[in-house]
Amino acid sequence: MGIEYEHYPVLLTFSVLAVDTDSIEQVKGKLEDVWDTVIVSSSVVPFLYTSYYCDEMGRDILRVYFGTDLLVDAGTIAAIKLRTNAIENEYLRDCKRTVNIDPGYLTLAKFVLATTKDATHRVYIGNKIYAESTLYFQNGTFMPWQWTYPDYRSEHAIGFFTILRSGYYARIKRLKYI
């Protein structure tokens, strides 16, 4: 028989696609207000990895990753995804999204994304939400799985999440979770 134990808190993150930099700044402010947290940003880069969002958001889509200073229970990620879906709806134009917000979290071992889409490698976590281990940590950096989206495989994403993990590691060590 296994022994249950409480998992140490995880670091909340957000991945945002948007049609312009003004929308990114507005969403960043909204996320900071809703979660009462400080957000750090990756650089903003063009989203050139797929045409999946083009019909809805156009061709000039931007990608940015946000890290927070908020430690949360990993079990809350489904509720957080539902809240980010509601925020996306605040930015609809002509019934089309102008922003896409995917919350996620970091642990020492992995980066996990919350999504509304099922797939063979995703786990249902309740409330119509699935979780995906998107990156795993090995030899001092994050690494992609075979199913990892191309933008999360990029040096841009991996570098940002690796830096976030370094701060997260120092913090949970200082707080004596590890």
The rounded mean pLDDT for the chain is 96
- Any domain includes 3: no
- Any domain includes 150: yes
Where in the chain does DSSP place strands (E)?
A: 10-18, 39-41, 45-46, 62-72, 99-106, 110-115, 123-126, 129-138, 141-144
- Any domain includes 154: yes
In this predicted structure, what is the pLDDT of residue 100?
Answer: 97
What CATH code is carried by the domain that includes residue 56? 3.30.70
| Spatial separation of the C-alpha atoms in residues 168 and 108, rounded to whole Å | 8
The total number of residues shown for the chain amounts to: 178
What would the pLDDT profile of 113-163 be if each residue is shown by its tens digit? 999 999 999 999 999 999 999 999 999 999 999 999 999 999 999 999 999
In this predicted structure, what is the pLDDT of residue 47?
Answer: 96
- Any domain includes 5: no
In this predicted structure, what is the pLDDT of residue 157?
Answer: 98
| Spatial separation of the C-alpha atoms in residues 147 and 145, rounded to whole Å | 5
Domain that holds residue 153: 10-174
Domain total in the chain: 1
Q: In the chain, which residues have pLDDT < 70?
A: none
- Any domain includes 2: no
